[in-house]
Amino acid sequence: MPSWRQNLLACALIVGSGFAVNHLRSPLNAAFLNTKNRDDVFALPPPGQAAAMSLGYRSALADLIFAHVLVSSGIHFQEKRSFEFVGKYLELVNALDPKFEAPYLMADSLITLQAKPVSSDAYRQARRILERGLVELPFSTDLWTTAGQFFAYLGPTGGIEGKELQDWKLAGGRTLARACELASSKEAPSHGCIAAAGLLSKGGASEASQQFMNRMLAMNDDPKVLQFMSALLKKNVGSADHDRVQAHRTAFNQAWSSDLPFVSRGALLALGPSWDSAACAGSRAECSTSWRAWSAAVEERQGAIIAFNTPLSASQ
């Protein structure tokens, strides 16, 4: 057969194949679009077996599963259906790599913010994952802040009621308070510290609230935080205790400015107070080689001043 006839036959076959594909594609495409996934299948083994299956590459397997979770979460949201086993996937990732921070930070959003409303058990599962993250990463300010906001605000909207609701809010206040303590003055948002104090006060944890406010007055330099904490402490404990805390803060600032005013508060707390070696040769109260001893000496002097300025009654 001449070459031009071969080329003509090949072109005819290509054109015919195109028409055949176009003719058969329409009904197949309609059938494909009408086919929808209704149920998910969790085909991964338990954490112990998954760790053995990783052959020592536990972190790599955790990364792979977490990437699958992110992609599947987007697909489920696009298809407007719930991601049924997202919590189990995240728990498996946590078991494989307990120090992997990203799954903890995104657990509340991936589990509770889905295309369809989720049950209250999903909120409780997200809380368990976040609480595990706080144990594994106790110094992560971002994780404490995320967990505190979820416990205090988002979690209680998931059908939590009664005493459990108060427990969630109180846990949120304590978690936000810890986040505020871990963060530096530049990192800690003033509204977060203020919200933590308010949640602890409303939750009935008066002692924890007072301790938190005392720490904030002693360690925070944000004017908004100091003003709010000072007013709330004065309202809760009275003027005498409020004045004592303020006097302690003033004494610390004076010691700071007279010793090492060019260092940060954290550096000064790490270095310790200035002390006189001659005074430490005896048993004089001026020998304070730690901030704990310095605070005790300040408290003793303040108590003596208050006793001296208190007028005696007629019976005395």
Q: Is residue 267 part of a domain?
A: no
Number of domains in the chain: 1
Burial call 261-272: b when 16+ CB within 10 Å, e when fewer: eeeebeebeeee
Q: Is residue 133 part of a domain?
A: yes
**Strongest mean pLDDT among 31-45, 52-66, 245-259, 271-285:** 52-66
Q: Is residue 221 part of a domain?
A: no
Cβ contact 205:170 at 8 Å: yes
The rounded distance, in Å, linking the Cα atoms of 50 and 256 is 54
Q: Is residue 30 part of a domain?
A: no
Burial call 224-240: b when 16+ CB within 10 Å, e when fewer: ebbebbbebbbeebeee
pLDDT at 312: 37
Q: Please give the DSSP secondary-structure letter assigned to residue 203.
A: T
Q: Which domain holds residue 96?
A: 47-138
Q: Mean of the pLDDT values across residues 54-70?
A: 93
- CA 195, distance to chain mean position in Å, is 14
Q: Is residue 93 part of a domain?
A: yes
Q: Is residue 111 part of a domain?
A: yes
Question: What φ, ψ does residue 183 adopt, rounded to 5°?
Answer: -80, 155
Nearest Cα residue to 49 out of 92, 13, 111? 92
Higher pLDDT, 202 or 254: 254
- CA distances from residue 227 to 190, 219, 222, 262, 270 in whole angstroms, order as listed: 11, 13, 9, 25, 26
Q: Identify the weakest region by mean pLDDT among 53-62, 157-166, 174-183, 262-271.
A: 262-271
